[in-house]
Amino acid sequence: MTYRNLSACVADLERHKHLVRIDAEVDANLEIAAIQRRAYRAGAPAMLFTRVKGCRFPMLANLFGTMARTKFIFRDTLRAVEGIFRLKLDPFDAFRHPLRYTGVPRALWSMLPKSVSDGPVLRHRCAISDLPRLISWPMDGGGYVTLPQVYTESPDAPGPMQSNIGMYRVQLDGPDYEKDREVGLHYQIHRGIGYHHAQALRRGEPLKVNIFVGGPPAMTPAAVMPLPEGLAEILFAGAMAGFRIPMVRQSHRTGGLPILAEADFCISGTIAPYQKPEGPFGDHLGYYSLAHDFPVLRVDAVHHRPDAIWPFTTVGRPPQEDTVFGDFIHQLTAALVPQVFAGVREIHAVDAAGVHPLLLAIGSERYVPYAGERQPQELITCGMALLGSTQTSLSKYVLIMAHEDAPSMSTHDFPGFFTHMLERTDFTRDLHFVTRTTIDTLDYTGISLNQGSKLVWAAAGPRKRQLADTLPGDLPLDARSEDGGLAAAGGSFGDPRLFGRGIVVLRGPKHTARRDEHDPAMHALAARLAHAQGLDGLPLFVVVDDPAFTAANWENFLWVVFTRSDPATDMYGAGEFTHCKHWGCTGPLVIDARLKSFHAPALETDPDVERRVDALAAPGGPLHGYL
């Protein structure tokens, strides 16, 4: 079944027991977000909240909360979309297996948007202050739209074929915004809207923006699909929807930019020639993104359809509902990876590490097949290619291994992958840094907003060490003064724990260094490890604030290590050296994964709100059996 609007999708999901209506009053201020996060963790149905405190619009949670439900929503078009991707990979497969592609011609026709003169979204108007004011975390700076479809067109080449649809945070209110006239538009680095904005500034023209909420469910994955620059997301949305997406053509009613005819809401406006503070907001790395100046949208109109529903999600430390988006897109596009990145066989942007901080990859090492011993060469080319295009360019750590060394290895096997890397890495040779470069806007580990470093860590060839599965009893963690006390320069390190084979997690002193500075205590620790005996099987030491938490499981380890460290600033090494601007070390590698003095705070829930949700989920409560 194809859904032309969100209401049709909601009705069908309810018929098939994939959605429940919640008629008890709920508060959009923290409470509904806490419910949504629990619903996702519980694998609950989608939830339509019909009574939102102080708001006349119902709110829809957990629509894409499970992979099974996501595939159910697109059950009639998924095969055809997969066929399009397969044909891009191998056009002649259609001749070998024609029955696989019976739906492809219709899907290709559906990719073309349809121009219409009117649509349900234009039936009614309201104000920004009438919209649901969703607050997800206690320190959030205002209400914001969590599932927007931000539509712009190229000023140089107007029309849907050069349009962009992105999911950028939209702040609806706050002390710095003029009520009902301004909203914040947080578009991060490396986003398609930025190219359109640059064109408009060059031309001396204002950039028109339409923000759609709701509408055909296919518009949501389209807004987060990592498509190449120049390929419009609305084309992908049509293929996923199974019909040509109707767009109300430009007129005085639409503010000069097409409007999604079946959208539930549309906020129309123009980017102002000034910025204002946006944030703070909880984000998908598990921390707050702090207040920074971002573009402002001057609002011209807010339209909505008669039966408008406000879909939403919340973001926070993974996994969350957006984890399903990532897995869904990965399944659709995994086969295309070798075509997009020559020599790369598999990639995995690790959700547990916040997606962009860590990319695991498997590539080929074929440059010198006649060599007596394989070493990273093609892998380095592959790693640089991953950092050079599409959304993988936002990756901070790229760990890449050679397929030839372990043909059955998967990037989803964290213990196996890290063991393989640590067994084979030559730390004097295999770490390749890119410094003072652009990084993800939400990543606060760098030297400034949008700026930090990246690392390509490549491993190929035979095993170089046997990893230890026990700790030595005399790790030289602390420097001692002559009277037996702790030396000030050495700091206080302790509570070492073995996490996996070859990985030591230990507690470090509270971080006090300034941004863009090495910590002398970490250099001192690395120096002590350089003189220690019996560490050949322990090539990686990680310094954290809470070793018990970090070492509890792989999810905690990946989150702490890769969301709290910048490669160039926070990597140290026993026997470290710099030779002709290449950094390496002869002994264990040491990563400082403590919370830094300049980091944004981690997300924490409100205990009072959690107790209210407990009551709603208790026996006899409206959410009992779902959370």
Domain boundaries, the chain: 6-73+111-312, 321-459, 488-592
Task: Determine the average pLDDT of the residues in 21-34.
Answer: 98
Per-residue pLDDT, 239: 92
Scanning 242-377, the segments in alpha helix (DSSP H) are: 321-333, 337-340
- Which of 52-66, 243-257, 259-273 has the weakest average pLDDT? 243-257
Taking residue 23's Cβ as centre, other Cβ atoms within 10 Å add up to 10
Q: For 279-343, where are the E strands, in sequence order?
A: 281-282, 288-289, 292-304, 310-312
pLDDT in the model for residue 336:
78
User: What's the Cα-to-Cα distance from 191 to each of 41, 230, 387, 445, 569, rounded to whole Å?
Assistant: 30, 12, 15, 20, 26
Q: Are 574 and 530 in contact (CB under 8 A)?
A: yes
Which amino acid is residue 150, in one-letter code? V
Query: Do residues 168 and 181 lie in contact, with contact meaning Cβ atoms separated by under 8 Å?
Result: no
Give the mean pLDDT of 554-581.
98
User: At 560, is the pLDDT very low, low, confident or very high (cuts 50, 70, 90)?
Assistant: very high
Distance CA 42, CA 198 (A): 43
Q: What is the pLDDT of residue 483?
A: 42
Percent of the chain, pLDDT > 90? 81
Q: What is the DSSP string of 217-260?
A: TTHHHHHH--PPTTS-HHHHHHHHHTSPPEEEPSSTTTTTS-EE
Asked whether the predicted pLDDT for residue 255 surpasses 90, the reply is no
Q: Comparing 267 with 104, which gets the higher pLDDT?
A: 267
Q: Is the pLDDT of residue 626 over 70?
A: yes
Judge whether 497 and 475 are in contact, CB under 8 Å.
no
* Predicted confidence (pLDDT) per residue in 178-233, tens digit: 999 999 999 877 778 889 999 999 999 999 999 999 999 999 999 998 876 667 89
Burial state string for 555-585 with b = 16 or more CB within 10 A and e = fewer than 16: bbbbbbbbbbbbbbbbbbbbbbeeeeeebbb
Q: Is the pLDDT of residue 273 over 80?
A: yes
How far apart are the C-alpha atoms of 126 and 263, rounded to whole Å?
A: 14
Question: pLDDT value at position 350?
Answer: 96
Banded pLDDT at 85 (limits 50, 70, 90): confident
The reported pLDDT for the residue numbered 84 is 76
Q: Kindly state the average pLDDT of the residues 293-318.
A: 96
State the pLDDT confidence band at 95, using cuts at 50, 70 and 90: low
Cis peptide before 280 (omega within 30 of 0): yes
Strands 208-213 and 148-153: antiparallel
DSSP annotation of 466 reads P
pLDDT confidence tier of residue 66, bands split at 50, 70 and 90 = very high
List beta partners, residue 267: 211, 302
pLDDT at position 492 is 87
pLDDT at residue number 488: 45
Residues 6+ apart with CB under 8 A from 97: none
Look at 250-254, 519-523, 526-530 and tell me which has the smallest mean pLDDT: 250-254
What is the helix (H) or strand (E) element at residue 145, kind and residue range? strand 144-145
- Residue 300 pLDDT > 90, yes or no? yes
- What are the b/e assignments for 58-72, b being 16+ CB within 10 Å? bbbbbbbbbeebbeb
Instruction: Answer whether 321-459 and 488-592 agree in fold.
Output: yes
- Please name the residues in contact with 575: beta carbons below 8 A apart, sequence gap of 6 or more: 530, 585, 586, 587
Residue 236 has pLDDT above 50, yes or no: yes
Helix (H, G, I), strand (E, B) or coil at 427: coil
Cα-flanking dihedrals φ and ψ of residue 323, to 5°? -60, -40
Q: Indicate if the pLDDT at residue 98 is higher than 70.
A: no
Please name the residues in contact with 487: beta carbons below 8 A apart, sequence gap of 6 or more. Answer: 478, 479, 480, 481
Cβ burial, residue 372 (10 Å; 0-12/13-18/19+): exposed
> Rounded to an integer, what distance in angstroms lies between the CA atom of residue 129 and that of residue 210?
17
Decide: helix, strand or coil at residue 312.
Answer: strand
What is the predicted pLDDT for the residue at 337?
84
pLDDT at 225: 87
In CATH, what is the architecture of 488-592? Answer: 3-Layer(aba) Sandwich (3.40)
List all residues 6 or more positions away from 304 whose beta carbon is below 8 Å from its beta carbon.
57, 121, 123, 124, 125, 126, 264, 265, 266
What lies within 8 Å, CB to CB, of 207 at 6+ separation is 152, 155, 196, 197, 200, 270, 271
Cis-peptide into 228, omega within 30 deg: no
Supply the mean pLDDT for the chain: 92
Superfamily of domain 6-73+111-312: Electron Transport, Fmn-binding Protein; Chain A (2.30.110.10)
pLDDT of the residue at 215:
98
Task: Give the 3-state DSSP-derived string for 486-504, with helices as H, strands as E and coil as C.
Answer: ECHHHCCCEEEEECCCCEE
pLDDT tens sequence across 334-374: 877 887 888 999 999 999 999 999 999 999 999 998 888 99
Output the pLDDT for position 349: 95
| pLDDT: which is higher, 538 or 191 | 538
Strands 124-126 and 114-116: unpaired
What CATH number labels 321-459? 3.40.1670.10
- Mean pLDDT of all residues in 268-285: 95
- DSSP for 1-24 reads ---SSHHHHHHHHHHTTSEEEE-S
Q: pLDDT at residue 32 above 60?
A: yes
Q: What's residue 80's pLDDT? A: 87
Per-residue confidence (pLDDT) for residue 104, from 0 to 100: 78
pTM: 0.93
* CA atoms lying within 13 Å on the CB side of residue 321: 29
* Confidence class for position 83, pLDDT limits 50, 70, 90: confident
> Is a pLDDT exceeding 90 seen at residue 480?
no
Residue-wise pLDDT for 390-448, tens only, equals 789 999 999 999 999 999 999 999 999 999 999 999 999 999 999 999 999 889 999 99
Amino acid occupying residue 486:
L
Q: Reply yes or no on whether the pLDDT at 330 is more than 90.
A: no
Over residues 521-540, mean pLDDT = 94
- Average pLDDT, integer, range 304-332: 94
Model pLDDT, residue 338: 81
Q: Which of 154, 143, 153 is nearest to 259 (CA)?
A: 153
Q: Taking residues 284-300, what's their average pLDDT?
A: 95
Q: Which residue has the higher pLDDT, 341 or 580?
A: 580
Q: Which percentage of the chain shows pLDDT scores above 70?
A: 94
The pLDDT value given to residue 581 = 96
